[in-house]
Amino acid sequence: MTLTVLFAAGQPLFDAYKTALEQAFQDHALNVRLVTDAPPEQVDYIIYAPSSPLQDFTPYTACKAVLNLWAGVEKIVDNPTLTQPLCRMVDPALTQGMVEYVCGHVLRHHLGMDAHIHARPGDWQPVEPPLAQERSVGILGLGALGLAVAQALGHFGFDIHGWARSPKSVPGITCHHGPKGLEACLSRAQILVTLLPLTRDTENLLDARTLQILPKGAALINPGRGGLVDDTALIAALDSGQLGHATLDVFRTEPLPADHAFWAHARVTVTPHIAATTRPKTAARVIAENIARSAQGQPLLHLVDRPRGY
């Protein structure tokens, strides 16, 4: 049987993914007609990205799943026309990218690298940097990305505290959950990493109140979503010294407007949403595997829980 797979993530991404997808379909012995346009009632699966012009899923009556190329689904999860199952992207290369980004920035703050990068001639004030076991790192979100990051940081010996919605038990990580757990996690986090999805429950989670719970001078690394943090409260916390630094990869408006206060703030590092990108070769395999599973009547992987929002 030939399956029609609609690539609805735009032409530039199609050019990047076409060969990898064709190879992955072949590897899974899938007979696929990969198209960028087709009569909606003929489409079996949709490959999707938030930038897609496709917003009305109603005519796709035969579609068995919408496969998102991004890990975050906040721009599609509330679409009322989407009645088909929605899968998010869990790509090993994306995860690896996030691990490298977070470890790099955690080590920057842990080792106080900025002092040496910006040292001037004559600056010679040796301060013994603490060892990882003397540093607590909090990670909000213990999903595909947060858990991988926590485990990688654990190899350095950091005192890792993670927070999720549901209780967890992970060797080497002190796991917290729920509102009380959030306070416990924040109160220890000398470096805080936010890897939560943006949902009704997590929007503005870091506000004036919760930022105050952090140890004074803590560093924040946010590669999750801009909406997790109240921007005004964040700047106030940086100005007062409650926060020592914020490394931000994601923003409420992207690209971050040139006149946004984050660009000019001495204690903010802006990176242009590059912490972790989906890589065509590995992502194509994930998509092909999911289509193969669905075609064989097996449950889809990485299914989004629509009411929960992630």
User: If binding is defined by CB under 6 A, does position 142 make contact with ligand NAP?
Assistant: yes
**Residue 108 beta carbon to ligand NAP: minimum distance, rounded to whole angstroms:** 17
Contact flag: residue 254 with ligand NAP (CB under 6 A): no
Q: Which of 105, 225, 267, 285 is catalytic?
A: 225
Q: Which of residues 206-225 bind ligand NAP (CB under 6 A)?
A: 223-225
Out of 260, 273, 279, 293, the active site residue is 273
The reply on whether position 306 binds ligand NAP by CB under 6 A is no
Q: What track of x and - describes contact with ligand NAP for positions 5 through 34 (by CB under 6 A)?
A: ------------------------------
- What is the chain's alpha carbon radius of gyration, rounded to the nearest angstrom? 21
At CA 153, angle to CA 236 and CA 179, rounded to 5? Answer: 50
Q: Is 85 in the site for ligand NAP (CB under 6 A)?
A: no
Decide if 265 is catalytic.
no
Catalytic residue status for 293? no
- Check if the beta carbon of residue 188 is closer than 8 Å to that of residue 138: yes
Residue 138 binds ligand NAP, judged by CB under 6 A: no
How near is the Cβ of 230 to ligand NAP at its closest, in Å?
Answer: 16
Q: Which residues bind ligand NAP (CB under 6 A)?
A: 71-72, 90, 94, 141-146, 163-166, 195-199, 201-202, 223-225, 249-250, 273, 275-276, 310
